[in-house]
């Protein structure tokens, strides 16, 4: 009998263990007041003595960002002791995947560092923020910057900085080839001007290795490269701001011919399709790349730090002076800077934690995006998004004055991301088009297995198939 | 009547107690893994099967019948990935079995201490993670003339190759990585099986003046067939699911040359958020693996006795 009892208990315990491990947590109690206000309607969690916890998933936005974040959280907790902020620093390589899994499981963090995306909104879990934005907060943002975190007119994020993608040059190599880089920084350059200059930048080095005019990472991330080029050929994206497919005329063919010309003339290495991002950087550091694609103003600081490491004997190699350059544009179309905003995006969970928690999430979000948070834009040498940030960091810029001026010049011709205006469904189809048509297509162009004409036709027909136009 | 019923109930309870006394512990021990299997394997698989007929949404899913399956069978990329997977499997599994067998055969001739050394050395890559190995292979396949493999080619007077960047060599490069990769498990299994072959059979063959080849083809190989079949079936299953090397080294490119079905499932689910379609693809992959495994057992296990 005793044995039977033990057996029954063992089975019951096993069942309890398994079911407990798999059971869903009860949603947190909600209340109408705000924890932060400390009002009468404080949430049950507070009444029970438990602080409300807001989860933040973020990235090492710049080298000192984690220190900044700790400071911001400390300041916030001094004001709101009942809201606990739990943050997790993700790696740039694996973080997006981790977040996608969490989001699709219905359990994203309350705040996630990223640009807003139509696909986030289509899940129904992105938290709309318009109701929480006070006139003071709205007024602090510089004109147009808040719009960069809206989807179809609704606010889902607060930008921390406005990023810019351009090209980056090696000052020594540019000057040796007689390139007037200051003029290019301020006035831009056309494709034909670039083609002429790039020929001078491409040569065999004394050690037998090649110095290329332009190097990009063709392995995996090449959608960035084609986007930079096509934006400078009058095509803001695959679709226009109304979701209409536009990669179907001579502008796309011109772009493909431009890239093909760079490959055939040897300005870009024939191994481009297999070059990873790190290899591109290594080639730049080794003086084998005069210009690299997808470069950001922050490279100025990053490369200056590398120069210090070389001086200190920690790193071997040639010191480089970094030059921020705009992407050259089609002779027939104006220059456009690829830009957007990154910052915090707010989410609720499938098991909604209630309005109180949403309010607390916004409080944390605002605290992580305020004046002091402007250090991110400062460190990254990017234009500020809030007046309070610009004021606090005035005269503290880290970039070389000429690169700062170049970033400011590039900010004048920004292409607004179409993702902000198109529907989530179109946004998902555009993503699929990039992954299944553009990415393999551009790789085929790099390897010479498809001609620009073949590829332009393919882009057109697949666009019709996937985007239905 | 009542007494008969209560007597029957009493004897039933007694029989149950007896059953518990005899087999209870066995069932208790089995219950935990069975429950874990039901909750963590069978339930998700069943749920994924349901999702394969839906347009999946986190908050709301829509029933779409066979739409996901219809779309998948009309999709060029699905067929390309299936083709790549089959080529990869045919190109790697038999070669890997031969390499494992060859190495095991050579090691088996050595003294015990040398055997242990080689077993340990050759098993080491099995312990290393696929991610680490892929990073090493990325350096080996560096497309520039300074790449490790390209340096070797240049030394031999050949032109450097863009290993992972061109359609003609990308899938071959992944196969090469598999050939030169982990054979630890196969070697250990073959060595164990070789050690289990009775020496008397070889002694009898020696008495009959059988040649080395005769001994190999009539004794060694036939008696290793169960091990070979096991390696064949598990190898095919594993290679149909090849993912890490594709994800880390080529991301399916260039131009879908290395997109395998497992990578396509991942991409469909986590890049395009089409979980319904990804589930449908996963079930087709599972069905293919089951069919191939059944065929392997049917055709290769006819003269195997366990």
Choose among A104, A269, A449: nearest Cβ to B167: A449
For the residues A426-451, what does the mean pLDDT come to? 87
Distance from CA of B175 to the nearest CA of A (A): 17
**Cis, bond preceding A388 (omega within 30 deg of 0):** no
pLDDT in tens, A334-367: 999 998 899 999 999 999 999 999 999 999 999 9
Query: What stretch of H or E contains A160?
Result: strand A157-170
Q: Can you give the pLDDT at residue A398?
A: 84
Torsion angle of C-alpha atoms A151, A153, A156, A157, degrees rounded to 10: 90
DSSP E strands in A236-383: the ranges are 291-295, 322-325, 337-346
Q: What percent of chain A has pLDDT over 70?
A: 89
Residue in chain B lying closest to A122 (CA): B57
Q: Can you give the pLDDT at residue A16?
A: 57
Please name the residues between 211 and 270 in chain B that touch chain A, using a CB distance below 8 Å: 250-256, 267, 269-270
pLDDT in tens, A252-299: 999 999 999 999 999 999 989 888 888 999 999 999 999 999 899 999
pLDDT band at A410 (very low <50, low <70, confident <90, very high): very high
The distance in angstroms from the start CA to the end CA of chain A is 75
CB contact under 8 A, B17 and A432: no
Please name the residues between 320 and 359 in chain A that touch chain B, using a CB distance below 8 Å: 350
Which residues on chain A are in Cβ contact (under 8 Å) with B146?
209
Please name the residues between 371 and 410 in chain A that touch chain B, using a CB distance below 8 Å: none
Residue from A322, A280, A272 nearest A449 by CA: A272
pLDDT in tens, B37-68: 999 999 999 999 999 999 988 888 899 999 99
Q: Can you give the pLDDT at residue A46?
A: 43
Q: Tell me where in chain B the CATH 1.10.3720.10 domain(s) lie.
A: 67-300
pLDDT band at A27 (very low <50, low <70, confident <90, very high): very low
Residues in Cβ contact with A311 at an 8 Å cutoff, skipping those fewer than 6 apart: A319
B39 lies within 8 A of chain A by CB? yes
Domains of chain A: 49-163+340-415 (3.40.190.10), 171-336+421-467 (3.40.190.10)
- Average pLDDT of chain A? 88
Residue from A314, A176, A203 nearest A266 by CA: A203
pLDDT band at A49 (very low <50, low <70, confident <90, very high): low
CB contact under 8 A, B143 and A271: yes
Residue in chain B lying closest to A14 (CA): B32
Nearest-angstrom CA–CA distance, A107 and A88: 15
For tokens 């007119």, the residue is A153
Please name the residues between 14 and 53 in chain A that touch chain B, using a CB distance below 8 Å: 14-15, 17-19, 21-22
Q: Can you give the pLDDT at residue B98?
A: 95
Residues in Cβ contact with B279 at an 8 Å cutoff, skipping those fewer than 6 apart: B48, B49, B51, B52, B56, B68
For tokens 């073959």, the residue is B190
pLDDT band at A34 (very low <50, low <70, confident <90, very high): very low
CB contact under 8 A, B58 and A101: no
The two three-digit tokens of residue A151, written as one number: 């989807």
pLDDT in tens, B176-228: 999 987 788 999 999 999 999 999 999 999 999 999 899 989 999 999 999 99
A279 lies within 8 A of chain B by CB? yes
A12 lies within 8 A of chain B by CB? no
CATH topology of domain B67-300: MetI-like fold (1.10.3720)
Out of A86-100, A358-372, B119-133, B239-253, which region has the weakest mean confidence (pLDDT)? B119-133
* A262 vs B162, more confident: A262
CB contact under 8 A, B165 and A10: no
Distance from CA of B277 to the nearest CA of A (A): 13
Nearest-angstrom CA–CA distance, A256 and A248: 12
pLDDT band at A53 (very low <50, low <70, confident <90, very high): very high
B272 lies within 8 A of chain A by CB? yes
Please name the residues between 131 and 150 in chain B that touch chain A, using a CB distance below 8 Å: 138, 141-146
Choose among A124, A209, A436: nearest Cβ to B58: A124
Choose among A105, A270, A443: nearest Cβ to B253: A443
Choose among A106, A283, A443: nearest Cβ to B254: A443
CB contact under 8 A, B20 and A3: yes
CB contact under 8 A, A18 and B254: no
Q: Can you give the pLDDT at residue A222?
A: 67
Q: Can you give the pLDDT at residue A25?
A: 45
A118 lies within 8 A of chain B by CB? no
Residues in Cβ contact with A40 at an 8 Å cutoff, skipping those fewer than 6 apart: A33
Residue in chain B lying closest to A447 (CA): B166
Nearest-angstrom CA–CA distance, A273 and A217: 7
Phi/psi class of residue A93: alpha, beta or left (left: φ > 0; alpha: ψ in -120 to 50)?
A: alpha
**3-state DSSP percent of chain A in helix, strand and coil, to 5:** 50, 15, 35
Choose among A105, A123, A273: nearest Cβ to B165: A273
Q: How many CB pairs under 8 A join A and B?
A: 128
pLDDT in tens, B64-115: 999 999 999 999 999 999 999 999 999 999 999 999 999 999 999 899 899 9
Q: Can you give the pLDDT at residue A35?
A: 54
Most confident listed range (A267-281, A361-375, B8-22): A361-375
A430 lies within 8 A of chain B by CB? no
Outline where A128-249 has alpha helix (H). 135-140, 171-176, 181-187, 191-201, 222-231
Q: Can you give the pLDDT at residue A24?
A: 45
Distance from CA of B220 to the nearest CA of A (A): 45
Residue in chain A lying closest to B57 (CA): A123
Burial A228-245, CB ≥16 within 10 A → b, else e:
bbbbbbbbbbbbeeebeb
Choose among A436, A441, A447: nearest Cβ to B165: A447
Query: Residue A17 pLDDT > 50, yes or no?
Result: yes
Q: Can you give the pLDDT at residue A329?
A: 97
Distance from CA of B8 to the nearest CA of A (A): 20
Which residues on chain A are in Cβ contact (under 8 Å) with B131?
none
In a mutational test of the A interface, the residue from B254, B275, B277 whose CB has the highest number of chain A CBs within 10 Å is: B254
pLDDT in tens, A141-183: 999 899 999 998 899 999 999 889 999 999 999 999 999 999 9
Choose among B24, B138, B275: nearest Cβ to A7: B24
B28 lies within 8 A of chain A by CB? yes
Choose among B25, B167, B270: nearest Cβ to A100: B270
pLDDT band at A44 (very low <50, low <70, confident <90, very high): very low
DSSP E strands in A22-156: the ranges are 52-58, 83-89, 111-114, 150-151, 154-155
Nearest-angstrom CA–CA distance, B81 and B219: 40
**3-state DSSP percent of chain B in helix, strand and coil, to 5:** 75, 0, 25
* B86 vs A415, more confident: B86
Query: Residue A95 pLDDT > 80, yes or no?
Result: yes
C-beta separation of A220 from A279 below 8 A: no
Nearest-angstrom CA–CA distance, A235 and A240: 8
């Amino acid at each position: 009998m005793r044995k039977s009892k033990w057996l029954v208990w063992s089975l019951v315990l096993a069942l309890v263990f398994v079911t407990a491990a798999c059971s869903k947590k009860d949603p947190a109690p909600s209340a109408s007041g705000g924890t932060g206000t400390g009002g009468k309607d404080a949430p049950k969690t507070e009444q029970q003595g438990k602080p409300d916890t807001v989860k933040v998933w973020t990235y090492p936005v710049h080298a000192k960002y984690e220190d900044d974040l700790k400071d911001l959280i400390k300041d916030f907790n001094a004001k709101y002791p009942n809201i606990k902020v739990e943050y997790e620093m993700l790696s740039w390589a694996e973080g997006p995947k981790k977040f996608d899994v969490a989001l699709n499981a219905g359990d994203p963090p309350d705040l996630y560092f990223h640009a807003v995306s139509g696909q986030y909104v289509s899940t129904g879990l992105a938290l709309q923020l318009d109701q929480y934005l006070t006139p003071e907060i709205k007024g602090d943002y510089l004109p147009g910057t808040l719009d960069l975190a809206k989807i179809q007119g609704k606010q889902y994020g607060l930008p921390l900085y406005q990023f810019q993608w351009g090209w980056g040059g090696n000052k020594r190599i540019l000057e040796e080839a007689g390139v007037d880089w200051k003029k290019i920084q301020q006035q831009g350059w056309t494709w034909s001007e670039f083609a002429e200059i790039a020929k001078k930048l491409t040569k065999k080095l004394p050690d037998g290795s090649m110095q290329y005019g332009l190097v990009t990472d063709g392995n995996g991330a090449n959608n960035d490269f084609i986007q930079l080029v096509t934006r400078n050929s009058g095509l803001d994206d695959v679709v226009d701001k109304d979701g209409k497919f536009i990669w179907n005329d001579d502008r796309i063919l011109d772009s493909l011919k431009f890239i093909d010309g760079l490959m055939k003339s040897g300005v870009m290495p024939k191994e481009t399709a297999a070059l990873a991002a790190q290899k591109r950087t290594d080639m730049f550091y080794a003086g084998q790349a005069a210009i690299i694609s997808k470069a950001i103003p922050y490279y100025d600081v990053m490369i200056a730090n590398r120069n210090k490491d070389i001086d200190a004997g920690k790193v071997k190699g040639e010191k480089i002076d970094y030059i921020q350059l705009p992407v050259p544009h089609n002779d027939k179309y104006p220059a456009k800077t690829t830009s957007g905003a990154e910052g915090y995006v707010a989410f609720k969970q499938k098991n909604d934690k209630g309005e109180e928690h949403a309010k607390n999430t916004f409080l944390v979000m605002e605290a992580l995006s305020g004046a002091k948070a402007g250090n991110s834009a400062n460190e990254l040498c990017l234009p500020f998004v809030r007046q309070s940030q610009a004021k606090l960091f005035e005269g503290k810029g880290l970039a070389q004055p000429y690169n700062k001026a170049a970033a400011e010049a590039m900010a004048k011709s920004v292409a607004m991301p179409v993702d902000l205006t198109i529907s989530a469904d179109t946004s998902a189809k555009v993503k699929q088009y990039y992954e299944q048509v553009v990415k393999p297509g551009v790789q085929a162009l790099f390897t010479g297995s498809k001609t620009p004409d073949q590829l332009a036709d393919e882009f057109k027909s697949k666009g019709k198939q996937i985007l239905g136009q | 009547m009542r007494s008969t019923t209560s007597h029957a109930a009493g004897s039933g309870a007694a029989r149950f107690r007896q059953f518990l006394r005899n087999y209870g512990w066995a069932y208790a021990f089995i219950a935990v893994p069975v429950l874990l299997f039901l909750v963590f394997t069978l339930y998700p698989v069943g749920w994924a099967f349901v999702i394969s007929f839906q347009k999946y949404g986190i908050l709301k899913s829509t029933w779409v019948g066979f739409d996901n399956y219809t779309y998948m069978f009309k999709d060029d990329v699905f067929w390309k990935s299936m083709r790549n997977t089959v080529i990869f499997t045919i190109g790697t599994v038999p070669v890997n079995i031969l390499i494992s067998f060859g190495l095991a055969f050579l090691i088996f001739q050595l003294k015990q201490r040398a055997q242990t050394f080689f077993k340990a050395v050759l098993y080491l890559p099995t312990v290393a993670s696929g991610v680490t190995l892929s990073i090493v292979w990325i350096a080996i396949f560096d497309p520039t003339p300074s790449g490790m493999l390209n340096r070797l080619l240049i030394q031999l007077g050949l032109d450097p190759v863009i290993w992972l960047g061109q359609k003609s060599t990308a899938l071959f490069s992944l196969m090469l990585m598999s050939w030169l990769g982990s054979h630890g498990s196969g070697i250990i299994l073959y060595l164990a099986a070789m050690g289990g072959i009775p020496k008397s059979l070889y002694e009898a063959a020696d008495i009959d003046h059988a040649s080395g080849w005769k001994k190999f083809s009539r004794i060694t190989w036939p008696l290793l067939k169960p091990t070979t079949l096991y390696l064949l079936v598990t190898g095919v299953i594993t290679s149909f699911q090849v993912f890490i090397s594709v994800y880390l080294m080529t991301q399916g490119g260039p131009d879908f040359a290395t997109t395998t079905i497992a990578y396509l499932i991942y991409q469909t689910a986590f890049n395009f958020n089409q979980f319904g379609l990804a589930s449908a693809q996963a079930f087709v992959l599972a069905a293919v693996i089951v069919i191939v495994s059944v065929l392997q057992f049917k055709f290769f296990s006819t003269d195997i006795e366990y």
